[in-house]
Amino acid sequence: MKSSYRSRLVGVFGSPVDENPSVVMNEAAFAAAGLDWRYITMLVEPQDLAAAFAGLRAMNFEGVNLTIPHKVEGMKYVDEISPGAKLIGAINHVVRKGDRLVGDNTDGKGFVEGLRHAGMELTGKSIVVLGAGGASRAICVECALAGCTEIQILGRTASKAGEIADIVNNNACIARALPWEGTARIPACDILINATSVGLAPDPNCPDIRYEDIVPGMFVQDVIPNPLDTLFLQKARQRGAKTGSGLSMLVQQGAIGFTLWTGQKAPLEAMQRAMEQENASQ
């Protein structure tokens, strides 16, 4: 067989992105699978997104992940969007197919699988989601499809929260948008999800909500993988709630993305182990 000295390239576009640990998980997956692929973490400001996609095409990247704030805007720069991502209205994963770039969304699917891995089934559950961006859209749609009975979305931008509610209401789940002005009240629910970027390292803050509304028996989930134990989760545990970190969502959606890029089954155990070791070293 003729030798090839060209590594296949993928990565992530984001801002901020320096603290995004996806490279650890993906490099571990490629090594475990014996693939000469490399994952590159790239700081891309919003005004440079078009140029970044042009560079991706020119340098023959196999694909890229999109994180904050590019999940909606990135749809402009791909040639095709999967049906699920169209429904969600955001993409977080791009794969090259020949000369075409195809946008997909693994956020919501990874989130649902992460909850199931933690023993939390969604059938019949009521959910409150903080935030109305791309991650919130994906989570709300996939949770509705997974059997939730009610989803309430709190967003600073009322129109965006309303759009998500409209999408979900068309998919066999009751949904409504709630105003978020100042300190938000949290309605009674089974699962509370932070789908905002508040608390993402190096930001030490937490969403401005009334934490007294969190009660024992509630499951509280953050989508932020770094830090692993956010202030939001710490406050929730102080109120007696069970909590889940963004690590499970990150690993599960990474596994889905690995298969989309390579066509191979993801080495999930190696990915999980790499992330656990990385977090232990912090």
Catalytic: 71? yes
- Three-state SS for the chain is CCCCCCCEEEEEEECCCCCCCHHHHHHHHHHHHCCCEEEEEEECCHHHHHHHHHHHHHCCCCEEEECCCCCCHHHHHCCEECHHHHHHCCCCEEEEECCEEEEECCHHHHHHHHHHHCCCCCCCCEEEEECCCHHHHHHHHHHHHCCCCEEEEEECCHHHHHHHHHHHHCCCCEEEEEECCCCECCCCCCEEEECCCCCCCCCCCCCCECHHHCCCCCEEEECCCCCCCCHHHHHHHHCCCEEECHHHHHHHHHHHHHHHHHCCCCCHHHHHHHHHHHHHHC
Catalytic residue selected from 71, 109, 125, 160: 71
Residues forming the active site: 71
